[in-house]
Amino acid sequence: MKQSPITLSQTPAFQPDSAPKHHPDDATLLSYASGSLSAGSRMLLQCHLACCEHCRQRVAEAEAVGGGLLDGLPQASMNTGVDDIFAKLDLLDSDPISQSEELPVKRPDWLPEWAEPIAKWLETDQNWQRLAPGISQIKLDQPEFCQDKAVRLLKISPGTCMPSHGHNGSELTLILSGSYCDETGRLCAGDVADLDPDIKHQPIADRDQDCICLIVTDAPLKFDGWIPKLMQPFFGL
């Protein structure tokens, strides 16, 4: 199994065209550092962190809080003493680290380099599935994402207007390419929208190119109006 990087501050930076301007909430960065995000949200954060120095710094701070908390914990009684451990060290040292390197994953053209963590979940010939006029999706519903309500990639044609919606839970959106505008501003590649449940928004894809984003929700979206409501089971969002 591939080891997660020990500290994210070591992650190489892949820059999108400009540094992201919309960041995850500090509460979300803290939960990332504490290891308490669902697998889908964690993957989304990994992508953003790979291209965002600002958030890598924040995560490092939240990890330092974790280190401080670890220091302050009471000691559990250990059944294994230092001598047993030395025996294991001898064993380890005589056995060179077996690198269970994962094969490099082929990244589709539309997926930026910093979004590499998504690539391994995409089947090689995975096709976009049409959802509604101007909107298609790829659903990531592997068992690893069982804690997430929905993990999906959406491709929105230029100028398409998404239905206005609020949320029961939290919704994280990462822009992979293209851009969209909503009530909170203009979001471009690398940006994350981390919306509180009380915020309603209506994203409109910019006109120049497709907008591809990764959306992770942990509770159903609430659509306004009867037509989007009818579409809700269909969207499955």
Partner 1 sequence: MEKVQSASQNWNQALTDVGVNRNREKFAALYQHFAPRVKTYLLRFGLSDAKAEELAQEALLQVWRKAEQYHASKAAASTWIFCIARNLFIDQQRSGRGKLEQSTDSYHEHEGLLNHHEQAGEDDNSWQNSKKHIEDALKELPLMQAQLVYKSYYQGKSHSEIAADLEIPIGSVKSGLRLAFKKLRMSLATDSLTGGESL
Tokens of 140: 């990531």
Q: How far is the CB of 193 from partner 1 (least distance, A)?
A: 14
Q: How far is the CB of 194 from partner 1 (least distance, A)?
A: 9
54 touching partner 1, by CB under 8 A:
no
13 touching partner 1, by CB under 8 A:
no
Judged by CB under 8 A, the residue of 16, 23, 39, 156 near partner 1 is: 39
- Partners of residue 136 on adjacent β-strands: 130, 155
Q: How far is the CB of 149 from partner 1 (least distance, A)?
A: 9
Instruction: Dump the DSSP string for 45-97.
Output: HHHHHHT-HHHHHHHHHHHHHHHHHHHHSPPPPPSS-HHHHHHHHHHHHHS--
CB nearer to partner 1: pick between 30 and 211: 30
Binding to partner 1 by CB under 8 A, coded x per residue (else -) over 208-227, reads: ----------xx--------
53 touching partner 1, by CB under 8 A:
no
Tokens of 22: 């919309």
Distance (Å, rounded) from C-alpha 4 to C-alpha 23?
A: 22
Which range, of 98-106, 144-152, 156-164, 183-191, touches partner 1 by CB under 8 A? 144-152
Tokens of 139: 């659903």
196 touching partner 1, by CB under 8 A:
yes
Judged by CB under 8 A, the residue of 7, 126, 129, 209 near partner 1 is: 7
Q: In what order do the strands lie in the sheet with 185-188?
A: 185-188, 179-182, 204-205
Q: How far is the CB of 26 from partner 1 (least distance, A)?
A: 5
Query: Are the CB atoms for 50 and 85 separated by under 8 Å?
Result: no
Query: Are the CB atoms for 179 and 138 separated by under 8 Å?
Result: no
Q: Hey, which residues between 57 and 116 contact partner 1 (CB under 8 A)?
A: 57, 60-80, 82, 85-86, 88-89, 92-93, 97
Judged by CB under 8 A, the residue of 147, 159, 207, 234 near partner 1 is: 147
- Where b means 16+ CB within 10 Å and e means fewer, 104-133 reads eeeeeeebbebbbbbeebbeeeeeeeebee
Tokens of 154: 């959406």
Distance (Å, rounded) from C-alpha 187 to C-alpha 48?
A: 13
Q: Where do contacts with partner 1 occur on this chain (CB under 8 A)? A: 1, 3-4, 6-7, 9-10, 25-31, 34-39, 41-42, 57, 60-80, 82, 85-86, 88-89, 92-93, 97, 143-144, 146-147, 169-170, 196-198, 218-219
